[in-house]
């Protein structure tokens, strides 16, 4: 995604002639980086594996999200832990079946 919004920054730059001048340049907003054409593109943070275990990283413009993967819920410590589906009421299994909780799912 291209973000057309850039932050204009005024800098004082010393010229080779020894003088100095006031210049404006554009700095990409947080979560974006300049591409070869000088446009600000979204950084895909999911490529850097920034989310914790048992999460599905979701890249969004300017940022990223770390929702828990299917079969996991966020606990009070902010970690994604296995859901014991067998303890849910009602249990996802048929009444005539035994429920077996496994990591990230159930049988
Ligand atoms: Ca992003």
CA of 31 relative to ligand 1 center, distance in Å: 6
CA of 44 relative to ligand 1 center, distance in Å: 4
Report the C-alpha gap between 26 and 34 in whole angstroms: 10
CA of 103 relative to ligand 1 center, distance in Å: 29
CA of 84 relative to ligand 1 center, distance in Å: 32
Predicted local distance difference test score (pLDDT) of residue 58: 96
Predicted local distance difference test score (pLDDT) of residue 71: 93
CA of 28 relative to ligand 1 center, distance in Å: 13
Predicted local distance difference test score (pLDDT) of residue 64: 95
Residue 100 vs residue 67, higher pLDDT: 67
Predicted local distance difference test score (pLDDT) of residue 3: 56
Condensed to tens digits (0 to 9), the pLDDT of residues 39-98 reads: 889 999 999 989 999 999 999 999 999 999 999 999 999 999 999 988 888 888 887 888
Whether the pLDDT of residue 15 is over 80: the answer is no
CA of 52 relative to ligand 1 center, distance in Å: 17
Q: What is the pTM of this model?
A: 0.66
Predicted local distance difference test score (pLDDT) of residue 62: 92
Are 46 and 64 in contact by the 8 Å Cβ rule? The answer is yes
Residue 66 vs residue 22, higher pLDDT: 66
Annotate 57-88 with DSSP letters as a single string.
Answer: -EEETTEEE-PBPTTEEE-TTS-EEE--GGGS
CA of 78 relative to ligand 1 center, distance in Å: 21
Predicted local distance difference test score (pLDDT) of residue 27: 84
């Amino acid at each position: 995604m291209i973000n057309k919004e850039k932050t204009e920054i005024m800098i004082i730059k010393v010229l080779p002639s020894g003088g100095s001048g006031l210049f404006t340049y554009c700095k990409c907003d947080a979560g974006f980086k300049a591409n070869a054409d000088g446009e600000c593109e979204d950084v895909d943070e999911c490529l850097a594996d920034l989310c914790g275990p048992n999460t599905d990283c979701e890249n969004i413009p300017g940022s990223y999200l770390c929702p828990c993967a299917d079969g996991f819920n966020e606990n009070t410590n902010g970690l994604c832990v296995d859901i014991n589906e067998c303890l849910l009421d009602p249990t996802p299994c048929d009444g005539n079946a035994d429920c077996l909780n496994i990591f990230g799912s159930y049988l």
